[in-house]
């Protein structure tokens, strides 16, 4: 059996997440509070200042909860996985689990990423359900190619688009006319994984250059290329990920070709498991299971 750990990204957050983890890992929680300058436990469990859904707070919170979920799983099961993968922000947790960097370094990276991405505003993201990625790309070419990009290839019939708010209604109408079942706007503040993140990507690349990463204990499959990370590519992949599409469908298809693959999602919610199941149903040769 090939054990594959999966970590979710932004959008999986909810007040109350990690309730069972903070007391179990007091040292990591104390480090997080010191780095962030606020109580991560209060943010996740109470969110009294209504900040959890703001990108600069969401991303560190999710990294911490995902990381503690992984540490808890290791304590409980005493075994590491054969592969790890994460969706967008979740990729940092996959790399943390594989030993590319420690908890403190990962949190610092994610904190800066969230700050830079949180600066952008005015964009829109939406999940398009019921069309293939080729059909979505065709609609964008016809009516929104200069203003919207494909941000994530989530499953064979779900594609996320991202771009200028001014183009959304025009693109939405074209997608529905082409046969989309739904076009659902996402609760995000900016056009992530699109051309509108390029200035943030450049600044983040300069920040990343200060860090050196360790060899991976097990393979992590990259959002950017849908193939396992090479050590020398970590800097460029983490920076490039900000403005380019998450190739989730291809990633899961690649992993599904491993011997007896078993996917196990860690984190605050099983938001990726239904997508994985949808991908596996459309892959006749896949004999994978989800936990």
Label residue 78 by pLDDT band (50, 70, 90).
Answer: confident
- Threshold 0.85, pTM exceeds: yes
User: Token pair of 121, please?
Assistant: 């505003």
- 225 in active site: no
Average pLDDT for 181-198: 93
Please tell me what DSSP assigns to residue 140. Answer: I
Domain boundaries, the chain: 2-120+195-290, 123-185
If you search the block for the tokens 């007896």, which residue do you land on? 260
If you search the block for the tokens 């179990």, which residue do you land on? 24
Residues in a beta bridge with 223? none
CA 21 to CA 8: how far, in whole Å? 17
CA 41 to CA 61: how far, in whole Å? 9
Phi, psi angle pair for 59, to nearest 5°: -65, -45
Predicted pLDDT of residue 291: 65
Among 12, 69, 87, 88, the one annotated catalytic: 88
**Residue 275 contacts residue 158 (beta carbons within 8 Å):** yes
Q: From residue 74, how far is each of 5, 8, 79, 80, 259 by CA, in Å?
A: 11, 18, 6, 7, 22
CA 186 to CA 271: how far, in whole Å? 14
Would you say residue 284 has pLDDT above 80?
no
- Using DSSP's 3-state secondary structure scheme, residue 122 falls into coil
In tens, the pLDDT along 192-219 reads: 999 999 999 999 999 999 999 999 999 9
Give percent above pLDDT 70 in the chain: 97
Q: What is the DSSP string of 200-269?
A: HHHHHHHHHTT---PPPSS-BB-TTTSSBPPGGGHHHHHHHTTTS-B-HHHHHHHHHTSSSEEEEE-SS-
In tens, the pLDDT along 227-277 reads: 999 989 999 999 999 999 999 999 999 999 999 999 999 999 899 999 999
Would you say residue 285 has pLDDT above 70?
no
In tens, the pLDDT along 111-161 reads: 999 999 988 877 999 999 999 999 999 999 998 678 999 999 999 999 999
Label residue 80 by pLDDT band (50, 70, 90).
Answer: confident
- 72 in active site: no
Q: What CATH architecture is 2-120+195-290?
A: 3-Layer(aba) Sandwich (3.40)
CA 132 to CA 156: how far, in whole Å? 6
Q: Tell me the pLDDT of the chain averaged across its residues.
A: 94
Predicted pLDDT of residue 122: 78
216-236 burial string, b = 16+ CB within 10 Å, else e? bebbbbbbbbbebbeeebbbe
Question: Rounded to 5 degrees, what angle do the CA atoms 56, 67, 212 make?
Answer: 80
Residues ≥6 apart with Cβ < 8 Å to 143: 167, 170, 171, 174
Residue with the bigger pLDDT between 189 and 182: it is 182
CATH 3.90.1280.10, applies to 123-185: no
Would you say residue 187 has pLDDT above 90?
no
Tally helices (H) and strands (E) across the chain. Answer: 11, 8
CA 166 to CA 149: how far, in whole Å? 14
Would you say residue 47 has pLDDT above 90?
yes
Predicted pLDDT of residue 45: 98
In tens, the pLDDT along 82-120 reads: 999 999 999 999 999 999 999 999 999 999 999 999 888
Give percent above pLDDT 90 in the chain: 89
In tens, the pLDDT along 18-31 reads: 999 999 999 999 99
Would you say residue 288 has pLDDT above 90?
no
User: Token pair of 275, please?
Assistant: 């997508």
Among 12, 155, 162, 193, the one annotated catalytic: 193
Strands (E), the chain: 2-7, 83-86, 123-129, 148-155, 158-164, 182-185, 261-265, 289-290
CA 137 to CA 141: how far, in whole Å? 6
């Amino acid at each position: 059996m090939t054990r594959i750990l999966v970590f979710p990204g932004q959008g999986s957050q909810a007040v109350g997440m990690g309730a069972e983890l903070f007391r179990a890992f007091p040292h990591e929680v104390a480090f997080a509070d010191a780095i962030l300058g606020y109580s991560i436990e209060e943010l996740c469990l109470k969110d009294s200042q209504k900040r959890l859904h703001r990108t600069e707070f969401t991303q560190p919170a999710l990294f911490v909860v995902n990381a503690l979920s992984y540490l808890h799983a290791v304590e409980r099961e005493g075994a590491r996985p054969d592969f790890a993968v994460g969706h967008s922000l979740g990729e940092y947790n996959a790399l943390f689990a594989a030993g590319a960097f420690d908890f403190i370094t990962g949190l610092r990276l994610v904190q800066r990423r969230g700050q830079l991405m949180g600066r952008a505003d005015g964009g829109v993201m939406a999940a398009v359900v019921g069309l293939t990625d080729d059909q979505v790309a065709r609609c964008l070419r016809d009516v929104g190619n200069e203003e919207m990009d494909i941000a994530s290839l989530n499953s064979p019939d779900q594609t996320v688009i991202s771009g200028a708010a001014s183009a959304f209604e025009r693109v939405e109408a074209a997608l529905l006319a082409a046969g989309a079942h739904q076009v659902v706007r996402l609760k995000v503040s900016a056009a992530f994984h699109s051309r509108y993140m390029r200035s943030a990507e450049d600044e983040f690349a300069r920040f990343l250059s200060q860090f050196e990463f360790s060899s991976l204990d097990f393979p992590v499959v990259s959002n950017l290329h849908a193939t396992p990370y090479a050590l020398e590519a970590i800097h460029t992949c983490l920076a490039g990920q900000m403005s380019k599409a998450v190739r989730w469908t291809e990633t899961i298809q690649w992993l599904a070709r491993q011997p007896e693959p078993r996917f196990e999602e860690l984190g605050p919610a099983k938001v990726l498991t239904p997508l994985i199941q949808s991908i596996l149903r459309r892959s006749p040769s896949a004999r994978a299971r989800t936990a």
